[in-house]
Amino acid sequence: MSLLQAAKDVREKAYAPYSRFKVGAAIRGADGAIYQGCNVENVAYPEGTCAEAGAIAAMVAAGETRIAEVFVIADSPSPVPPCGGCRQKIAEFAAPDVRVTLATTDGLEKVMTVAELLPGLFTSQHMDRS
């Protein structure tokens, strides 16, 4: 299965009763397996959890800690980037040159690297004096 198809499939499972804005994410781990995540909203936190965070959690739960590629899809006029928190999470598990594809359900795509997605990344090296 392609990352595009995996992200499209899981997007349909999103729980978005408040925003009605469904997002799907698929991550290919370094092991070659595909991990999926979708956004989940709730009444106390209507913004919900992000699709990318869900895919990363599934990857880590399976024992993988390296991202080889990311694909995110939403029904939007333009490709939707991950939120700041998800950008940091992606960067935690992916090398700067890892490919990130942001897509719309209409077929528009924007391809970038993790480094382009999150310039000025906070890393463990910032804590070297701790």
pLDDT value, residue 69: 98
Q: What CATH number corresponds to the domain at position 95?
A: 3.40.140.10
pLDDT digits (tens, 9 = 90+) for 88-124: 999 999 999 999 999 999 999 999 999 999 887 777 7
Give binding residues for Zn(2+) as ranges: 50, 83, 86
Q: Which domain does 8 fall in, by range? A: 3-127
pLDDT value, residue 109: 98
Give binding residues for substrate as ranges: 39-45
Structurally, the chain folds into a number of domains equal to: 1
Give binding residues as ranges: 39-45, 50, 83, 86
Does 64 qualify as catalytic in the annotation? no
As a whole number of angstroms, the distance between CA 31 and CA 54 comes to 18
The pTM for the full model equals 0.91
Of these residues, 52, 64, 69, 92, which one is catalytic? 52
From residue 67, alpha-carbon distances to 30, 99, 102, 116 in Å are 6, 10, 16, 16
pLDDT value, residue 119: 84
* Low pLDDT (below 50) residues in the chain: none
